[in-house]
Amino acid sequence: MKMSKLMANILLLITSVFWGSGFVVTKIALDVNVSAGFINFVRGFLFVVCVLLVFHKKIFKMTFRDFKVGVIAGLLNFGGFITQTIGVMYTTPSNNAFISASYVVIIPFIAWIFYGKKFQGKSLIAISACILGMAIISGITNEEINMNIGDVYTLFCAFFYAGSIVYLGYSTRTTDFSIVAFLLAAVQAIGGLLFFLLVEKGQLSNINWSVAIVPLLYMGVVCSFVGQTVQVLAQKHTSATSAGLIMMLESVFGSIFSITFGFEPFTMKLVLGGTIILLSIILMELEFKQFLFKNKETGKNKLYSGR
């Protein structure tokens, strides 16, 4: 399936909207005593069911190489989900959002170390601006940072997410997106179930099911099945750094949804920080060679007309 980079980035933007809404529903589920492991198990299980219903013909043709690629992607993805969910239990939402978003700094280094992808000067500028925007939104300053166990879990989450985004961008391009999505779902379901049974001891008695059921269904179908399937499809057609910057917008959208549903007040920090993040993404996507090129015959610089 051929797709332009622009369309891929638009799909990733839609994914970040879905994931941003997931912050609110995850918070609702945690507040009614649904554990991190059980949330991930339900998300993964519903994800598996949806992928099988829609893509079962392709999945049953899976090769061993497809399986290996998908399992590695799934383990990285699950590592990010479980550490972020645990982290938000022990730290503030602002700390969680800011530290999670630091994966955009890690992505270029992983891409360079494992895939030989060279840094671009504009990438470093865009990433720096993106981190500044997140710092403004979260309200974190040097004086306010006080690392706790939740922040440590969230930092691990950032490394897992960075690894997952890079791996999906470079190692899954020859594997059908539906197979990768299925294995992401299967690993999340199995990992969540094992964590729930072995670490959390299978505690379900205190859950308020009348409140929890809708958030769990939403996370499984919309955030996981729709969001992650679209992510896997789109990342085949754009760079890992661009994908990371765009998907960082999930935190901005998370704040917007949180304000909309009355979880926090509207502030100018959101407007200023969000604007800086958007500008950083635009900077990353600009191709300056389209505006200026060197004429090989005359050796003079001319403006590119675009025609």
Q: State the DSSP H helix or E strand holding residue 58, giving kind and residue range, or none if neither.
A: helix 36-59
Q: What is the pLDDT of residue 301?
A: 41
**Amino acid 181: pLDDT:** 92
What domain range is 115 assigned to?
A: 5-285
Q: Is residue 295 part of a domain?
A: no
Q: What is the pLDDT of residue 140?
A: 61
List of E strands, the chain: 292-294, 301-303
How confident is the model at residue 187, as a pLDDT? 95
User: Which one, of 192, 183, 235, lies nearest residue 70 by Cα?
Assistant: 183
Q: What are the mean pLDDT values of the chain's consecutive 10-residue runs (307 residues total)?
A: 83 90 84 90 95 92 92 93 82 67 80 79 78 72 62 87 87 86 94 92 87 94 93 86 80 78 75 80 63 46 34
The verdict on residue 303 lying in a domain is: no
Indicate whether 216 belongs to any domain. yes
Q: What per-residue confidence (pLDDT) applies to 128?
A: 83
Indicate whether 305 belongs to any domain. no
pTM: 0.77
Q: Is residue 302 part of a domain?
A: no
Which residue has 């001891």 as its token pair?
201
- 3-state SS, one letter per residue, for 213-261: HHHHHHHHHHHHHHHHHHHHHHHCCCCHHHHHHHHCHHHHHHHHHHHHC
- The set of residues, in sequence order, having a beta carbon less than 8 Å from that of 159 and lying 6+ positions away, is 103, 106
Counted domains in the chain: 1
Residue 88 burial (CB count, 10 A): 23
pLDDT, position 141: 54
Distance CA 170, CA 166 (A): 6
**Within a domain: residue 19?**
yes
pLDDT given at position 300: 44
> Is residue 296 one of the residues assigned to a domain?
no
The pLDDT assigned to 49 comes to 96
In a domain, 298, yes or no: no
